[in-house]
Amino acid sequence: MIKKMFKGMMAQREEDRKAELYRNLIRHEAKIGGQLFGDVPENVHREFFCLNKRTWVWHEEWKDETGKDRVRTTRYDVRPDGVLKAQDGQPYKLANREEVHNLYKAAQEYKKRVKQEIYSQI
């Protein structure tokens, strides 16, 4: 019984370790992605990353001119029949052609930079 319990604990630790590694990789990728569109201004937190096979996320936090905290999160759901976009918790709507083109170019550059800066060392 103790052996079984110990084995279960070890398996859980391994799962926790893998989950933490995944979160750290996503954070690192998101930081690289946030820099794709130029330097990130001081006091701005910007991320752009691929969440899964078809979901891309743009997230930005900043203080406006009055010092109020602002946040904008945009999710893109890439589907065979088009790209759906949801911003700040609003319902998904079809992204326009220009935005889809810009997302495609950003995704290509993201994949290139992430591969160079993270995964080329593995």
Query: pLDDT tens digit string along 111-122?
Result: 999 999 998 876
What integer is the mean pLDDT of 47-53?
A: 93
d(CA 52, CA 28): 15
State the pLDDT at residue 56. Answer: 97
Confidence of residue 8 (pLDDT cuts 50, 70, 90): low
Work out the number of other CB atoms within 10 angstroms of the CB of residue 83. Answer: 19
Sort 62 into a burial class: Cβ within 10 Å, 0-12 / 13-18 / 19+: middle
Residue 57 exposure: Cα atoms within 13 Å on the Cβ side: 18
Domain ranges in the chain are: 2-121
